[in-house]
Amino acid sequence: SAKEKADRIKEAAGQEDLNSYTLLVHSLKSTSAAIGAERIREAAFALEKAGKENNRELVRKDTPGLLQEYLTLQEKLSKILAET
């Protein structure tokens, strides 16, 4: 589901659908906070704010980094869970 969520965020950003983008990034922020992924939570918080403020430049610039970090974390967690 992480890959699907990342794809949906990327698609919303690419289409400049900031309403959907903001909701998706908000969800990512909440999930990240729940598991203690503070850097992702902080980045998602900033991008949620950018979406609400219609800051398309920041959304375009920072979304790829957020998604890369998110998918990297998901990969690490998957490996840990597979070992248990």
Decide if 24 contacts 9 (C-beta within 8 A). Answer: yes
Coil, strand, or helix at residue 84?
coil
Decide if 28 contacts 46 (C-beta within 8 A). Answer: no
The model carries a pTM of 0.91
Instruction: Look at the block and give the residue holding tokens 């990240």.
Output: 32
| pLDDT tens digits for range 44-81 | 999 999 999 999 999 999 999 999 999 999 999 999 88
The alpha carbons of the chain give a radius of gyration, in whole angstroms, of 13
Decide if 70 contacts 2 (C-beta within 8 A). Answer: yes
| Residue 1: per-residue pLDDT | 83
